[in-house]
Amino acid sequence: MTFSAWCVLLRYQPLRICKTPRNLNFFKPAYSTSLPDSMEKPKVLITRNDVPQIAIRKLRELCDVDIYEGSYPMPRDQLLARVAGKDGLFCFLTDRINAEVLDAAGRSLRVVSTMSVGYDHLSLEEMKSRDIKVGYTPDVLTDATAELTLALLLATSRRLLQANAELNNGGWGRCVWGPVWMLGKGLSGSTVGIFGLGRTGQAVLKRLAGFNVAKFLYTSTTKKELRAKFNKDAFAAMKNSAVFINTSRGGLVDQEALVWALQTGQIWAAGLDVMTPEPLPTDHILTTLPNCTLVPHIASADVKTREAMAELAAENLLGGLIEGKQMLKRLC
C-alpha cells in the first residue's frame, strides 16, 4: 500500500518566478557607507547579541548601536527602558513589539526591522498608524526551509529518531534484529501533497523529484485566514498511512485534532518544525508520542541562511533610516 505525505509550506508572499541568492552580496547599497560629519548617527537597538557579525558591522558604520548583552530574548523591562529614544529597532521572533513598546520608544522610532519571515510578533496596524516602517526577511531562507522539510519528512517516515533512541537505550541489543522491527514508510511510489505551492513549496517539489514519488497533489492558496485549517475533519480525510509535515505556521494546525489523529492511528506519523505555543512546553502531550517528530523551529538554521537574514534585516533598517533610500523588503 502506498502512503501519502502532506507537507504544509504556506507562505503569504505572492509567488514570483525568480531565483533569490542565499546571500545579499549582489545588493549594492544605494547610499554612502559613511555619514557627513554634521549628521548625527541614528540610534539603533538590537535586542540580542548573538547576531551574525555582518549585520552588526553594517549598522555600526552608519548608526549608534546599542546591543543587548544576552544571547536570549531581551527581558521586557529592559526592552521598554532601552528602546526609549531609539530611531530604529532590530528585533526577532522572540520579541513582542506592540503598542507598549512603541509608546516606550517615543516619537523618535521610525523603523522596525525583524530578522524573520513571520511577523505575528509585530503589531503591524499599530505601526502603520504611527507611520513606522517595518522590514522583514523573506526569500533568502527558501532553500534552507525546503531542505529541513525534506529532512523532517524522511526522519519521520523512516522513524530515524525512534531508531536512534532504540540504539541509545539498549533496545537494539535486546532485539538484535527482527524482520518487522523499526519498519518505516518509503517515499518511492507514494503520493505527496503540498499545501502552499509558493517558493518553498516549489523548492520541496524539486528536491522530491529524485525519490520516485508516484503522484504530487498541491494547492497554491495564499489566503491569510487559515487558522486551524488542518482540523479533525482534515485528518479524518487522510489515509491511515499518511505522514503529516508542518514547516509553515503552527497556527495552521488544530493540535488537539493532530493528537487525536496520532493517538488513534488515523494518520501514521507527524513531523513538526512549528507548533503552538512556541516554545512548546516539555510536558506537552506531543512530546510523548512516539510517532511525532518535533524540532524547535529550525527551518532557517544554517549558517549562510542566518547570515543572509541578518544582512537583509540590517539593510532594511538602514534603508528606512537614511533619508531618500528604500528598504529592500518592507511590510508596511
Task: Read off the pLDDT of residues 51-80 as tens digits, 9 standing for 90 and up.
Answer: 999 999 999 999 999 999 999 999 999 999
Amino acid at 72: Y
Q: Is the same domain home to 52 and 171? A: no
Answer positive or negative: Cα dihedral of 89, 114, 13, 220.
negative
Amino acid at 273: D
Instruction: Select which of 58, 110, 185, 297 is catalytic.
Output: 297
* Residue 19: inside a domain: no
pLDDT of the residue at 173: 86
Whose cell is 486551524? That residue is 228
Q: Is the same domain home to 185 and 290? A: yes
> 3-state SS string over the chain?
CCCEEEEECCCCCCCCCCCCCCCCCCCCCCCCCCCCCCCCCCEEEECCCCCCHHHHHHHHHHCEEEECCCCCCCCHHHHHHHCCCCCEEEECCCCCECHHHHHHHCCCCCEEEECCCCCCCECHHHHHHCCCEEECCCCCCHHHHHHHHHHHHHHHHCCHHHHHHHHHCCHHHHHCCCCCCCCCCCCCCCEEEEECCCHHHHHHHHHHHHHCCCEEEEECCCCCCCCCCECHHHHHCCCCCCEEEECCCHHHECHHHHHHHHHHCCCCEEEECCCCCCCCCCCCHHHHCCCEEECCCCCCCCHHHHHHHHHHHHHHHHHHHCCCCCCCCECC
Q: In this prediction, what percent of the chain has a pLDDT beyond 70?
A: 87
pLDDT of the residue at 225: 58
Whose cell is 510517532? That residue is 291
Answer positive or negative: Cα dihedral of 277, 91, 133, 84.
positive
Looking at the predicted structure, is the pLDDT value of residue 9 above 90?
no
* Residue 299: inside a domain: no
* Residue 95: inside a domain: yes
pLDDT of the residue at 181: 93
Q: Is the same domain home to 153 and 130? A: no
More confidently predicted of 1 and 180: 180
CATH number of the domain that residue 181 is part of: 3.40.50.720
CA distance 47 to 44: 10
Q: Is the same domain home to 102 and 184? A: no
Looking at the predicted structure, is the pLDDT value of residue 81 above 90?
yes
Q: Is the same domain home to 109 and 52? A: yes
Which residues, at least 6 apart from 178, have a Cβ–Cβ distance to it below 8 Å?
none
Annotation says 284 is catalytic: no
* Residue 279: inside a domain: yes
* Residue 210: inside a domain: yes
Q: Is the same domain home to 181 and 276? A: yes
Average of per-residue pLDDT values in the chain: 90
pLDDT of the residue at 221: 59
* Residue 49: inside a domain: yes
Q: Is the same domain home to 124 and 152? A: no
Q: Is the same domain home to 118 and 210? A: no
Domain range enclosing 148: 4-13+142-294
Q: Is the same domain home to 136 and 147? A: no
Task: Read off the pLDDT of residues 255-298 as tens digits, 9 standing for 90 and up.
Answer: 999 999 999 999 999 999 999 999 999 999 999 999 999 999 99
Looking at the predicted structure, is the pLDDT value of residue 208 above 60?
yes
CA distance 236 to 225: 21
- Expressed in angstroms, the distance from the first to the final Cα of the chain is 49
pTM of the model: 0.85
Assign 47 a pLDDT band (cuts: 50, 70, 90): very high
Task: Read off the pLDDT of residues 308-326 as tens digits, 9 standing for 90 and up.
Answer: 999 999 999 999 998 878 8
Overall domain count for the chain: 2
* Residue 34: inside a domain: no
Average pLDDT over residues 102-107: 99
Q: Is the same domain home to 270 and 123? A: no
Average pLDDT over residues 153-174: 94
Whose cell is 485566514? That residue is 225
Average pLDDT over residues 147-175: 95
Assign 15 a pLDDT band (cuts: 50, 70, 90): very low
Q: Is the same domain home to 257 and 200? A: yes
* Residue 331: inside a domain: no
Assign 4 a pLDDT band (cuts: 50, 70, 90): confident
The grid coordinates listed for 155 are 526522519
CA distance 116 to 123: 15
Residue count of the chain: 332
Q: Is the same domain home to 69 and 208? A: no
pLDDT of the residue at 17: 33
